[in-house]
Amino acid sequence: MKKQILVIGGGASGMTAAIFAARAGASVTILEHGPRLGKKILSTGNGRCNLTNLHMGAEYFRGGEGGRAAAGFVSQALERFGVPETLAFFSGLGLVTKDKNGYVYPRSEQASAVLDLLLTEVRRLASAS
């Protein structure tokens, strides 16, 4: 029997988690309380969606105690899914990107291109399951 996974929140993170879980063979349901999946993506990067940064590093993250990132957590996350994996993931979805001084955007500079490709993959996996 397939693993059943419930992803709560259909933003960029939730959709990406759902895609990876479904590709690994799980049966995935995304529970989104907003009107549509990935709505916030459209307003990221001033409508262009800054996917990643070629100079990504744990030192650029803030949060946790004293405003410092939980460095161990961020480092571990970036080791497992850093810039190369991010670029490969989006390239695999069919996204062509451009680099502006290390800031990576879709070549179209349209955040909607990122959302459309994520939604297409979510729907493809849903129809294949």
Ligand X SMILES: Cc1cc2nc3c(=O)[nH]c(=O)nc-3n(C[C@H](O)[C@H](O)[C@H](O)COP(=O)(O)OP(=O)(O)OC[C@H]3O[C@@H](n4cnc5c(N)ncnc54)[C@H](O)[C@@H]3O)c2cc1C
Q: Tell me which residues touch ligand X (CB under 6 A).
A: 8-14, 31-34, 40, 43-45, 49-50
**What is the nearest approach in angstroms of ligand X to the Cβ of residue 126?**
17
Note whether 30 and 10 are within 8 A (CB). yes
| Residue nearer to ligand X on the CB measure, 1 or 42 | 42
Name the H helices within 1-129: 12-23, 71-80, 83-93, 111-128
Q: Which residue is nearest to ligand X (CB)?
A: 11
List the structure tokens of 36: 């549509």
Smallest Cα–Cα separation from 20: which of 98, 129, 121, 128?
A: 121
Nearest residue (CB) to ligand X, 4 versus 13? 13
Is the Cα dihedral 101, 98, 78, 41 positive or negative?
positive
Min CB(94)–ligand X separation in Å: 19
Taking the least distance from each CB to ligand X, the nearer of 45 and 82 is 45
Smallest gap from Cβ 1 to ligand X, in A, equals 26
